[in-house]
């Protein structure tokens, strides 16, 4: 008999009822609300005459609609209304809110792991597709819609079809200057944005094992850009060391019991997956996207694809439309493409290690005069730690703007947009048409590559940046 995958073990432990035909009622261990969906969700439960079933398993923080300017100046009227709605809704329901200016506030997918709310083997949901991020801790985590969110608030459960399983082995050692972001972009370019559709993905292999926890969170963050709602990595000693002592992580006697359970979670050696993929990482270069889908990506020293080389009709048509939108010439090097904006932030890349990596590039250099560059830390905690290390000073003296934590320009829900026709290098996860604002042109990259673009004034190879 085959063993069980980590996915299957966690799934099994959360089944409240088998509804038949591969559909299950699952228990939700952790639910995080944000300002965009939280107020409406709490309201809809009340409107149906129901109560929030487990407020103690529910947490909230504003991130989407608040301004990232100092003092949150410029938060729109709607943003303020949402923030007030989140405050009053969580207060009346008895839900713990991490408010503006408080340690704990930040992007939902940054604060979950940081506070120890995200735990191995836990089932965590949030009304945001990048909830897959939390899989980097060994949790099963996925994004949900508005109706599902109401369902979770009212019942602490969710009806879900069981996905198939895919294991992606990332093997070998990453070259100098290459980051977890580059690996996952390369993987998306290889497998495609629909390649993971219908699967829960487990990332494995020597490259994953050598990564720190924050890098693993970055890898899992872009699972949804593979089409996979769930991405996860087996917990190990690094995970335990990361969690120990965090505010909501188990302590004392519970810590021992929890770690004993967590050690049982990794996939059995004889577990079978529906699909297995292997990628050798040794030759992967820093990557940057050229189009309007994360799969339209290339090594930074590569050439923008020539349409004659794209044989698939659908892919060619998509590429032609993308190049038109992005204002790029086929067959030309991507290096040297002039940049107007640089955004370092988002649930993909706004943690302390990301900021350190970007600061290393920025240190002693100056942002090009044609570029406006922002650093938006992922959380209040990241912000304070970065300031304690002096990273804010490094960024500021290089000409970057150092801002307040939140989602900001990743999706521009707070009105912080890249103007139409302008080009941005962004450490976020989506380069969709209009994502950073109507007509905005987004190139996804790692924090180091984004910082290099800010300095150079154009897309640049961080490995070859001059002084």
Partner 1 sequence: MKPFIALSATAAPFLHDNIDTDVIIRVERLVGLTGHGDLGPWCFEALRYLPDGSENPDFILNQEPYRKSEVLLAGANFGCGSSREGAVWAMMGMGLKAVLAPSFGQIFYNNCFQNGMLPVVLPRTSIEEIISELRPDTGMTSVTVDLERQLVVSPGGREYVFETPPLRRQALLKGLEADDLSLTLKREAAIAAHQAHDRQRRPWIYESVEVQS
What's the N-to-C CA distance of the chain in angstroms? 60
Q: Which is nearer to partner 1, 122 or 288 (CB)?
A: 122
3-state secondary structure of 206: helix
C-alpha closest to that of 193 among 229, 225, 146, 151? 225
Task: Please state the closest distance from residue 147 (CB atom) to partner 1, in A.
Answer: 4
Length of the chain: 467
CA triple 285-289-293, angle to 5 deg: 135
Residue 191's H or E segment, with its range, is: helix 180-191
> What tokens were used for 317?
């048509």
CA triple 154-157-161, angle to 5 deg: 135
Q: Which is nearer to partner 1, 225 or 380 (CB)?
A: 225
Task: Please state the closest distance from residue 403 (CB atom) to partner 1, in A.
Answer: 19
Task: Please state the closest distance from residue 284 (CB atom) to partner 1, in A.
Answer: 23
Q: Which is nearer to partner 1, 147 or 369 (CB)?
A: 147
Residues β-bridged to residue 441:
423
Q: Which is nearer to partner 1, 222 or 386 (CB)?
A: 222
Task: Please state the closest distance from residue 281 (CB atom) to partner 1, in A.
Answer: 25
CA triple 112-116-121, angle to 5 deg: 90
Task: Please state the closest distance from residue 57 (CB atom) to partner 1, in A.
Answer: 7
Q: Which is nearer to partner 1, 53 or 238 (CB)?
A: 53
Task: Please state the closest distance from residue 458 (CB atom) to partner 1, in A.
Answer: 25
Q: Which is nearer to partner 1, 119 or 298 (CB)?
A: 119
Q: Which is nearer to partner 1, 40 or 136 (CB)?
A: 40
Q: Which is nearer to partner 1, 76 or 422 (CB)?
A: 76
Q: Which is nearer to partner 1, 216 or 430 (CB)?
A: 430
Task: Please state the closest distance from residue 435 (CB atom) to partner 1, in A.
Answer: 5
> To the nearest 10°, the Cα dihedral for 269, 273, 277, 281?
-40
Task: Please state the closest distance from residue 137 (CB atom) to partner 1, in A.
Answer: 14
SS3 string of 359-376? HHHHCCCCCCCCCEEEEC
Q: Which is nearer to partner 1, 294 or 299 (CB)?
A: 294
The residues, any chain, with a CB within 8 Å of residue 373's CB and separated by 6 or more, are 341, 342, 343, 344, 367, 399, 400, 401, 451, 454
> To the nearest 10°, the Cα dihedral for 203, 209, 215, 221?
10
The residues, any chain, with a CB within 8 Å of residue 188's CB and separated by 6 or more, are 195, 222, 225, 226, 294, 295, 297
CA gap 396, 384 in Å, rounded? 15
> What tokens were used for 250?
């188990």
Task: Please state the closest distance from residue 339 (CB atom) to partner 1, in A.
Answer: 21
Buried b / exposed e along 236-251 (16+ C-beta atoms within 10 A): beebbebbeebebbbe
Task: Please state the closest distance from residue 322 (CB atom) to partner 1, in A.
Answer: 10
> What tokens were used for 176?
């100098």
Q: CA–CA distance from 419 to each of 27, 415, 438, 449 (Å)? A: 43, 11, 7, 21
* Burial class for 12, CB neighbours closer than 10 Å (0-12, 13-18, 19+): exposed
Task: Please state the closest distance from residue 248 (CB atom) to partner 1, in A.
Answer: 5
Task: Please state the closest distance from residue 7 (CB atom) to partner 1, in A.
Answer: 14
CA gap 59, 72 in Å, rounded? 22
């Amino acid at each position: 008999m085959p063993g069980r995958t980590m996915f299957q073990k966690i799934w099994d432990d959360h089944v409240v009822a088998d509804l038949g035909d591969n559909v299950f009622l699952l228990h939700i261990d952790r639910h995080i609300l944000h300002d965009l969906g939280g107020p409406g969700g709490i309201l809809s439960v009340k409107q149906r005459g129901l109560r929030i079933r487990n407020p103690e398993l529910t947490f909230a923080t504003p991130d989407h609609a608040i301004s990232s300017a100092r003092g949150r100046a410029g938060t729109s009227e709607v943003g303020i209304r949402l923030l007030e709605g989140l405050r009053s809704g969580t207060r009346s329901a008895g839900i713990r809110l991490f408010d503006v200016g408080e340690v704990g506030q930040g992007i939902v997918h940054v604060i979950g792991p940081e506070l120890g709310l995200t735990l191995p083997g836990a089932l965590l949901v949030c009304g945001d597709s990048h909830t897959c991020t939390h899989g980097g801790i060994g949790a099963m985590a996925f994004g949900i819609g508005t109706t599902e969110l109401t369902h979770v608030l009212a019942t602490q459960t969710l009806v879900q079809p069981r996905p198939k399983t895919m294991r992606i082995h990332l093997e070998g050692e990453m070259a100098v200057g290459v980051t977890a972001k580059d690996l996952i972009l390369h993987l998306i370019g290889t497998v495609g944005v629909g390649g993971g559709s219908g699967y829960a993905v487990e990332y494995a292999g020597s490259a994953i094992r050598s990564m720190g926890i924050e890098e693993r969170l970055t890898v899992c963050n872009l699972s949804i850009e593979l089409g996979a709602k769930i991405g996860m990595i087996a917990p190990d000693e690094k995970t335990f060391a990361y969690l120990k002592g965090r505010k909501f992580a188990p302590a004392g006697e519970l810590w021992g019991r929890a770690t004993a359970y967590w050690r049982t979670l990794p996939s059995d050696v004889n577990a079978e997956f529906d699909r297995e993929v292997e990628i050798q990482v040794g030759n992967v270069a820093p990557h940057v996207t050229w189009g309007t889908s994360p799969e339209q990506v290339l090594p930074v020293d590569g050439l923008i694809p020539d349409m004659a080389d794209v044989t698939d009709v659908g892919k060619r048509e998509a590429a032609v439309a993308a190049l038109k939108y992005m204002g790029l010439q086929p067959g030309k090097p991507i290096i040297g493409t002039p940049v107007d904006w640089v955004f370092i932030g988002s649930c993909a890349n706004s943690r302390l290690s990301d900021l350190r990596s970007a600061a290393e590039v920025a240190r002693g250099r100056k942002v090009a005069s044609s570029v406006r560059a922002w650093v938006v830390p992922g959380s209040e905690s990241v912000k304070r730690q970065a300031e304690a290390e002096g990273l804010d000073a490094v960024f500021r003296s290089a000409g970057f703007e150092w801002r307040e934590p939140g989602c900001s320009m990743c999706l521009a829900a707070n009105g912080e947009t890249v103007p139409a026709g302008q080009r941005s290098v962004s450490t976020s996860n989506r380069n969709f048409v209009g994502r950073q604002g109507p007509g905005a042109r987004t190139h996804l990259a790692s924090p180091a590559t984004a910082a290099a673009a800010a300095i150079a004034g154009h897309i640049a190879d961080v490995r070859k940046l001059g002084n």
